[in-house]
Structure 1
Amino acid sequence: MAGLVIPVEEWAALHDLVHRYAARVDERDFAGVARLFGEPGDPGEPGVLVLPDPPREFGPVHEHRGPEAVAAALSVLDEVPLTAHGITGAVFDPGDDPATARGRITCVAHHVTRRDGRFADAVWHLRYLDRYAKIGGEWRFARREVHLDLIGTREVRASRLGR
């Protein structure tokens, strides 16, 4: 390991990467999300998204390898009228060489659905455990694991979807 701290310009690029993931998921740009992952054949373990299976499994159990599989896995969110992902913390550590890094990202993800004629918000508190690879001068997700900590549900009084 070169050092214990990520240089500020690399930290900023990694910070941007995790926020772009959240924004593109909320925009339903799953092809755009998939482009944030490495391709098969890239260095390391590129392009892997590992998702939980709530409410049975809160840890990562379903592996999706490669950009097409990542986009397909996330496309289930098309059935959720509104999501809002808020990044609440980001810690980055250097990897074994300058072209790799690790991250622990905390997030609160809101999933708004219609239930019994009203909107309900399933709120997920989660952690992403990430491995990144710098490919062609750009940081990409080599592996992203989603770990759920808790899920709550609450009524939505109003949203851009209506009341």
Structure 2
Amino acid sequence: MNTEQQLQQTADRLAIRNLVDQYAYCADTRDAQGQMALFTEDTSFLIFMDAQSSQPTQVINNKADLFPVFDNLNTYNATMHFNGQSTVLKLNEETATGITYCIAHHQILKDGTQKLMIAHIKYHDSFVKQNGAWLFSERKLLVDWIENQ
């Protein structure tokens, strides 16, 4: 691999990490449209409320149908999606795969009492580079466990 290829690969890895972090930022700022813009038109978004299940709890097969999922975060008073390690597993010029660990805090105030739901999540992602920008082409959200406080 020559220097130019190494620089491009480093730039691509950084752009992918920024994409992952932008997803969390949009979630926490309730920017559903911004979150949707991070996906390809024909994206696949699969939610596994039980990470051990072979069958997803919910399947979305295009970007337009993501809005209700992302807008649902408005049911919480506050959220904080804390991304941990994020690893690009395979990287080509136009495609990549990766995994990201996330601890997602969801706060509700009910009758003056704070309730907190903390989801421990792994995202298994497929990325595609379109018009020079990395996007999610598939995102699998796998919930390892949930804590309620």
Q: Same fold (TM over 0.5)?
A: yes
Higher helix content, 1 or 2: 2
Find the aligned partners of 1:93 and 1:10 in 2 and give their Cα distance: 13
2:131 aligned with 1:131: no
Pick aligned residue for 2:76 from 75, 80, 86 = 80
Find the aligned partners of 1:153 and 1:61 in 2 and give their Cα distance: 20
RMSD: 1.6
Query: Percent identity of the aligned residues?
Result: 25
Pick aligned residue for 2:103 from 77, 95, 108 = 108
Find the aligned partners of 2:12 and 2:64 in 1 and give their Cα distance: 27
Deviations 1:94-119 (A, max 9, x none): 25x42110010000000001234301
Find the aligned partners of 2:74 and 2:9 in 1 and give their Cα distance: 37
Indicate the larger mover: 102-111 or 76-85. 76-85
Aligned residue number for residue 112 of structure 2: 117
Q: How does 1:5-154 map to 2 (within 5 A)?
A: 7-40=9-42, 47-53=43-49, 57-58=50-51, 60-95=56-91, 97-154=92-149
Find the aligned partners of 1:80 and 1:48 in 2 and give their Cα distance: 25
Unaligned residue ranges in structure 2 (runs of 5+): 1-7
Find the aligned partners of 2:57 and 2:132 in 1 and give their Cα distance: 31
Q: How many residues align?
A: 139
Find the aligned partners of 1:134 and 1:72 in 2 and give their Cα distance: 25
SS in 2 for 1:140: strand
TM-score (norm: length of structure 1): 0.79
TM-score (norm: length of structure 2): 0.86
Q: Are 1:64 and 1:73, in contact at CA under 8 Å, matched by a contact in 2?
A: no
Deviations 1:69-117 (A, max 9, x none): 112222111111111000011000225x421100100000000012343
Unaligned residue ranges in structure 1 (runs of 5+): 1-5, 41-46, 155-163
Q: Are 1:89 and 1:106, in contact at CA under 8 Å, matched by a contact in 2?
A: yes
Q: Are 2:41 and 2:64, in contact at CA under 8 Å, matched by a contact in 1?
A: no
Deviations 1:115-159 (A, max 9, x none): 3430111011110000000011100000001001111122xxxxx
